[in-house]
Amino acid sequence: MKQDPKAQLETIKRGTVEIISEEELLSKLKRSVEKDEPLRVKAGFDPTAPDLHLGHCILLRKLRDFQSLGHTVIFLIGDFTAMIGDPSGKTETRPQLTREEVEKNARTYEKQVFNILDRERTEVVFNSSWLGGMKAEGLLKLASLGNVARMLEREDFRTRYESGSSITIMEFLYPLIQSYDSVNIRADVELGGTDQRFNILLGRDVQRHFEQESQVAIFLPLLEGTDGIKKMSKTLGNYIAFEDTPEDVYGKIMSISDDLMWRYYELLSSRTIDEIRDIKSWNHPMEAKKLLAIEIATLFHGEKEALEAQKDFELKFSERQFPEEGREIHLDRKNGKTVLDLISLSSQRLKSRGEAKRLIEQGGVSIDGERITDPNSMIPDRDLLRLKIGKREFVKVRFTHG
């Protein structure tokens, strides 16, 4: 543990929403360096579905940051709590899973996480190992640490209570049980999405009750799904799973909006902030999206499979988006540098540069399926471009190098 604690803190802070508290975390990091003892960093995952997806990747990457700094990650599989179902953000009680369903899902989690985590610095634990044998007396003592008034401070519980929707006593117990996990593994830090705020902060109180130092709470953003609106969820179908095929991973990344692409860069890419800034400055959005798609597909399937997925996508995309009757022309790049130059030279329907500029600004032009709205953006540096100009004009442009 030789790295400066303040430098460690800056690495940890990247991409986080909130840390409670930074002062406590810095103190723990200093002590870790002084004693040459790694921190124990916890994140819990309930195996309620068989696949991990990119939403989980945000947490896993932050866990990997801790590992790169020399700390120990406790990847907690909530095989016991999965049979209750985390009520966070839910408007109704989750359907209960069977033991067999949970165990099957848990096995897939163990296999998938090491796409990102360092196996040597990861402890995989199952909370059934301490919760499964808990007697009624222990559960009642744990239940005594919570109260109904505090539970109803949670927005999701309060909303359900005020609307008359059912809330089971078992759901009230979930945050306490999650907190008890932190006690059993003696967590120094717990990571979670912003929807886990109540549960993780309660863990600090429960640890103090058991005469442990409170864990630091680190909250990370929730990743929007491919629809760009709702949280990535297998239930909503807007997810990209770790075990999707390379072609599906690549294609789903290519389907997201430009704005969402930059959020994915920020939260999922291993590139530095400066590297991402350079990509944004120098690359057309379509090219930037391809770089991201290659990176994410490589993470799960390796570079060779990712590059094959890119070739497959481009072939299918060109066949799907461009009609056979599209006109083909040849242009010299010396004749123009901007998209406005390109469209003015390529179109037979537009009568002036002013008309071409208006059509571009109105979103009526696409290049290789990517809508272009800035007339002054640079022509993509590719030998072949497929243009859609307005609703009916399709032009295949091949560039000469004379």
Q: How far apart are CA 225 and CA 220, in angstroms?
A: 15
pLDDT at 284: 81
Residue 117: what are its φ and ψ, rounded to 5°? -80, 155
3-state SS, residue 19: strand
Q: Are the CB atoms for 374 and 339 separated by under 8 Å?
A: yes
Q: How far apart are CA 269 and CA 252, in angstroms?
A: 16
pLDDT at 319: 56
Q: Average pLDDT of 61-87?
A: 83
Lowest mean pLDDT across 116-125, 162-171, 314-323: 314-323
Taking all residues of the chain, what is their mean pLDDT, rounded to a whole number?
A: 84
Chain segment 327-338, per-residue pLDDT in tens: 888 988 888 889
Evaluate if residue 156 carries a pLDDT over 90.
no
Give DSSP secondary structure letters for 56-118.
Answer: HHHHHHHHHHHHHTTPEEEEEE-TTGGGT---TT-SSPPPPPPHHHHHHHHHHHHHHGGGTS-
**Which residues have CB under 8 Å from 164's CB, separation 6+?**
none
Q: How far apart are CA 86 and CA 174, in angstroms?
A: 7
Evaluate if residue 92 carries a pLDDT over 60.
no
pLDDT at 322: 60
Output the six-digit token pair for 105. Answer: 């899902």
Between helices 258-268 and 54-68, what is the axis angle to 10°? Answer: 30
- CA angle at 134 for the pair 132 and 135, rounded to the nearest 5°: 130
Evaluate if residue 105 carries a pLDDT over 90.
no
Q: Are the CB atoms for 189 and 215 separated by under 8 Å?
A: yes
pLDDT at 85: 53
Evaluate if residue 91 carries a pLDDT over 50.
no
Chain segment 19-28, per-residue pLDDT in tens: 999 999 999 9
pLDDT above 70 covers what percent of the chain? 90
pLDDT tier at 401, thresholds 50, 70, 90: low
Q: How far apart are CA 73 and CA 87, in angstroms?
A: 25
Q: How far apart are CA 138 and CA 174, in angstroms?
A: 15
pLDDT above 90 covers what percent of the chain? 35
Which of the pair, 288 or 172, is modelled with greater confidence? Answer: 288
